[in-house]
A = this chain, B = another copy of it.
Amino acid sequence: METTLMVLDKVNSSKDLKNLSIEELDILSGEIRELILKKVNTTGGHLGPNLGIVEATIALHYVFDTPEDKLVFDVSHQCYPHKILTGRKEGFTNPDKYQKYTGYTAPEESEYDLFKVGHTSTSVSLATGLAKARDLRGGKENVIALIGDGSLSGGEAFEGLDNAAALGSNIIVVVNDNDMSIAENQGGLYTNLKLLKDTNGQAECNFFKSLGFDYYYVDNGNDIESLISTFNKVKDSDHPVLVHIRTIKGKGCIAAETDKEHYHWIVPGELDNDYSPAVSQEESYESITTDYLLKKREQDNSIIAISPATPGVSGFTKEFREKMGNNYTDVGIAEQHAVAFASGLAKNGAKPVLAIMSSFIQRAYDQLSQDLALNNNPATILVFWGGITGADATHLTKYDIPLIANIPNIVYLAPVNKEEYLAMLDWATEQRNYSVVIRVPMCQMVSIGKKDTTDYSVLNKYHVAESGSEIAILGLGNFFRLGQKVKSLLKDKLGISATLINPRYITGIDKELLESLKANHRLVITLEDGVLEGGFGEKIASYYGASGMKVINFGASKEFTDRVPLEELYKRYHLTPELILEDIQNLL
């Protein structure tokens, strides 16, 4: 059932805004806010960022002539009001259509969306490209980049600003300053943003002016009239301008205004309950990580946990951060710095543990290679959420193995249960010889109930979990359990007692073991929870290439998938025990 809305019912594209009065625009902002609250509370999603940007989005579409004028979002998790105003309101008014549109900008949905984005700090660079292309063809449209204060800490944003300011023609950067990253902002820049806000934009020492921008400040960035007035001043500017607007994250929802970090992104139904930050009592890979770090810190002040502005990914709660005190650093959205910082820490005797999401470690490849691995400094990096997912195309987490495992020196480990993970974590932080990355399992935690006493300094020794013959199954990390199921099915259906192997090391080949398999196996299958291309299995196939051993690699294909259910992906990639059995049968 569609909701009836006094003003929004008249707005089917951004062009319809032009005929509205300020009063109607104010009503519209209330209507949009209600829709967002209702929808996000039903489906889950980004709440705070969208509530804060409602008025600015209305004002931008009111002043500028989108889509001829081009509006580029940063991260784009704040694009819900934009979608509502640009022909996609049914995705918010009609519960049956709640899932129709992605939570990010998507050119395939609308000509109002320029880019598919989901990682931070990119909008200014992308917009600078649009603007330069316009100049080459003699176009006149405005190009606007919207970027949050949190995203400014990312190096790509700085590179973009530095270049945009030197463009010499129209580009309008709107900095949406809500005084928050996902968690608190970190870094010297934020003292300047505070100074600018405290002085109503008048302070002489001004980061944006120092880069060469013509600077405008809007103190109430949730006031449509002020925004319209300022945007009108900069529209059709013949030089780079920057409009710094102060907004309230979570605006209009008391809970979200109060606990900005928690309500950045919520799960379905969260607003109906009294949210209380009770810690889950159930053990998880996150909880055993923070328990380990807190306990370690009691005996060893050189341990230090690091997060690049995403503490939630690794269960680094407020409570944990406070307890760690000086032994916790949030570097802001600055993955490159995070890795180099960890290398420097390790070089000077500290024991850094950087926790990062699989999709974001790819923002620091050169730092992994040059700042860390080339120097072989003993930092520990925990990659969370690595594996095939049904996520949005911008947050896929299946590429970390090719990314990390092909860099020399790095030891990339894939534990399969609680005890193995803790043993690896302990080894990684205590040894001084290698840069170690651990792919924290992304699955239900399994405990085997007895301490793992493996010496992980003996590199590249795979663990034979169960000996057998004919077929050997290499079940890497998350997919070790899939390997168990395949083994069991092989026994039931074909009467084959397969060998089951837990490789543990993603970055090396256990040649001795692989050689020994030749004696009484004719097929090796590899299972990896990630993309096949450049991954683990291909190395096994290459190793056996010149031998008679047959190899089948199972994993994901190299493709961007967009909100495809995990079950469907497993079917597509033959990642169920039954489909794997079929492939084996077809070969035998």
Binding site for B on A (CB under 8 A): 70, 72, 107, 114-119, 122, 125-137, 153-166, 186-189, 191-192, 204-207, 209-213, 240, 301-302, 304, 326-327, 329, 331-332, 334, 336-337, 340-350, 352, 362-363, 365-367, 369-371, 373-375, 393-394, 399, 402-403, 405-409, 531-535, 537-539, 541-542, 544-547, 550-553, 558-560, 587
* 21 pairs from A and B in contact (CB 8 Å cutoff): A115-B343, A118-B370, A125-B336, A126-B344, A129-B344, A133-B350, A135-B326, A155-B157, A156-B367, A159-B332, A159-B336, A162-B334, A166-B188, A192-B210, A205-B205, A210-B210, A402-B406, A405-B533, A406-B533, A545-B550, A545-B552
Query: CA–CA, A118 to B375, complex, Å?
Result: 12
Contact pick for A558, options B375, B402, B406, CB 8 Å = B406
Q: Which residues of B contact A159 (CB under 8 A)?
A: 153-155, 158, 331-332, 334, 336-337
Report the separation of the CA atoms of residues A362 and B132 in the bound assembly, to the nearest whole angstrom. 25
Please name 11 further chain A to chain B contacts, defined as beta carbons within 8 Å, in addition to the given A70-B348, A122-B340, sorted by A numbering: A125-B344, A129-B352, A130-B344, A133-B344, A134-B348, A165-B188, A191-B212, A534-B534, A542-B542, A545-B550, A546-B550
State which of B134, B156, B332, B399 has its C-beta within 8 Å of the C-beta of A369: B399
- Considering the chains assembled together, what is the distance between the CA atoms of A16 and B159 in angstroms? 42
How far does the alpha carbon of A409 sit from the alpha carbon of B557 in the complex, in Å? Answer: 12
- Decide: B301 and A115 in contact? CB cutoff 8 A: no
Q: Are B341 and A128 closer than 8 Å at their CB atoms?
A: yes
Assuming A344-B130, A348-B133, A371-B115, is B545 touching A541 (CB within 8 A)?
yes
Distance, CA A544 to CA B154, complexed state (A): 43
Q: Once bound together, how far apart are the Cα atoms of A332 and B559, in whole Å?
A: 32
A4 vs chain B, min Cβ distance (A)? 37
User: What's the nearest-Cβ distance from chain B to residue A128, in Å?
Assistant: 6
Report the separation of the CA atoms of residues A33 and B87 in the bound assembly, to the nearest whole angstrom. Answer: 67
Enumerate chain B residues within 8 angstroms of A155, measured Cβ to Cβ.
154-159, 336
Residue among B192, B345, B362, B366 making CB contact with A211, cutoff 8 Å: B192
Which residue in B191, B342, B393 is a CB contact (below 8 Å) of A129?
B342
Residue in contact with A362 in the complex, picked from B117, B365, B408, CB distance below 8 Å: B365
Distance of A95 from chain B, by nearest CB (Å): 29
Q: Are B559 and A408 in contact (CB under 8 A)?
A: yes
Known A163-B186, A188-B161; judge A531-B129 contact (CB<8 A): no
Smallest Cβ distance from A275 to chain B, in angstroms?
30
Other-chain residue from B107, B126, B191, B375 in contact with A115 (beta carbon distance below 8 A)? B375
| Separation of A192 and B165 alpha carbons in the complex (Å) | 11
B393 pairs with A399, CB closer than 8 A: no
Complex-state Cα separation, A552 to B166, whole angstroms:
51
Nearest CB on B from A237, distance (A): 15
Given A116-B374, A546-B587, A587-B546, also A301-B366 (CB < 8 A)? no
Whether B132 and A304, one on each chain, are in contact in the complex, defined by CB atoms closer than 8 angstroms, is yes
- Which of chain B's residues have a CB closer than 8 A to the CB of A550? 545-547
In the complex, are the beta carbons of A347 and B210 less than 8 A apart?
no
- Asked if B534 and A542 sit within 8 Å, CB to CB, the answer is no
Q: Decide: A370 and B394 in contact? CB cutoff 8 A.
A: yes
Q: How far is the CB of A103 from chain B (nearest CB, A)?
A: 15
Say whether B186 contacts A166, CB under 8 Å: yes
Q: Is A187's CB under 8 angstroms from B166's CB?
A: yes
Whether B136 and A162, one on each chain, are in contact in the complex, defined by CB atoms closer than 8 angstroms, is no
Name which residue of chain B comes closest to A211, CB basis.
B188
**Residues of chain B within 8 A of A587, CB atoms compared:** 546
Question: Quick check: A331 and B163 within 8 Å, CB to CB?
Answer: yes
Q: How far is the CB of A557 from chain B (nearest CB, A)?
A: 9
B188 touches A137 (CB 8 A): no
Q: Does A204 contact B207, Cβ atoms closer than 8 Å?
A: no
Q: Which of B119, B162, B366, B547 contacts A189 (CB 8 A)?
A: B162
Contacts A343-B129, A349-B137, A399-B406: A158 and B160 contacting too (C-beta < 8 A)? no
A192 touches B212 (CB 8 A): yes
Contact of A329 among B132, B210, B533, B544 (CB under 8 A): B132
* Contact residues in B for A539 (Cβ distance below 8 Å): 533, 538
CB contact under 8 A between A137 and B302, given known A187-B166, A365-B403, A551-B546: yes
Chain B positions within 8 Å of A329 at CB level = 132
Q: Is the CB of B534 within 8 A of A405?
A: yes
Q: Which residue of B has the minimal Cβ distance to A141?
A: B348
Q: Is the CB of A162 within 8 A of B187?
A: yes
For A350, what are the chain B residues with a Cβ–Cβ distance below 8 Å?
Answer: 129, 132-133, 136-137
Q: Are A133 and B546 in contact (CB under 8 A)?
A: no
